[in-house]
């Protein structure tokens, strides 16, 4: 049991470091002057195709890493 806990702890630490790196690689969510003019991000070519871009992949990766983080945090706090 102790080896399983050690392996999960190592995965948890790697996930934490990876999550910080992925979050820091993302761009800010400010809309700039487009928000003042009432233009939404869905009205542009960039807004419609964001899911296939680098930013879209980073957002999906962040979601997955957060789910793994929460799952491992709960699992590691259960007394084996």
Is the pLDDT reported for residue 38 higher than 90? Answer: no
Is the pLDDT reported for residue 32 higher than 60? Answer: no
Has residue 29 been placed in a domain?
A: no
Q: State mean pLDDT over 25-51.
A: 62
For 61, the enclosing helix (H) or strand (E) is helix 54-77
Is the pLDDT reported for residue 42 higher than 70? Answer: no
Question: What is the pTM for the complete model shown?
Answer: 0.70
Has residue 45 been placed in a domain?
A: no
Is the pLDDT reported for residue 39 higher than 70? Answer: no
Range of the structural domain that residue 63 is part of: 1-24+52-80
Has residue 59 been placed in a domain?
A: yes
Has residue 38 been placed in a domain?
A: no
Q: State mean pLDDT over 41-53.
A: 61
Has residue 8 been placed in a domain?
A: yes
Contact by Cβ (8 Å): 9, 80: no
Comparing C-alpha atoms, which of 34, 64, 36, 60 is closest to residue 47? 34
Has residue 36 been placed in a domain?
A: no
The whole-angstrom separation of Cα 2 and Cα 17 is 23
First-to-last alpha carbon distance for the chain, in angstroms, is 7
How far does Cα 41 stand from its chain's mean position?
20
Q: State mean pLDDT over 20-47.
A: 68
Provide the pLDDT for residue 63: 95
Phi, psi of 38 (to 5 degrees): 90, 10
The residue written with tokens 């899911």 in the block is 51
The average confidence (pLDDT) of the chain is 82
Q: How many domains, in total, are found in the chain?
A: 1
């Amino acid at each position: 049991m102790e080896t399983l806990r050690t392996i999960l702890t190592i995965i948890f630490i790697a996930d934490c470091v990876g999550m910080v790196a992925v979050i820091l690689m993302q761009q800010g969510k400010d809309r700039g002057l487009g928000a003042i003019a009432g233009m939404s991000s869905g009205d542009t070519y960039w807004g419609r195709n964001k899911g296939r871009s680098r930013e879209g992949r980073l957002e999906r990766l962040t979601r997955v890493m957060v789910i793994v983080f929460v799952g491992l945090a709960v699992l590691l706090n259960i007394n084996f």
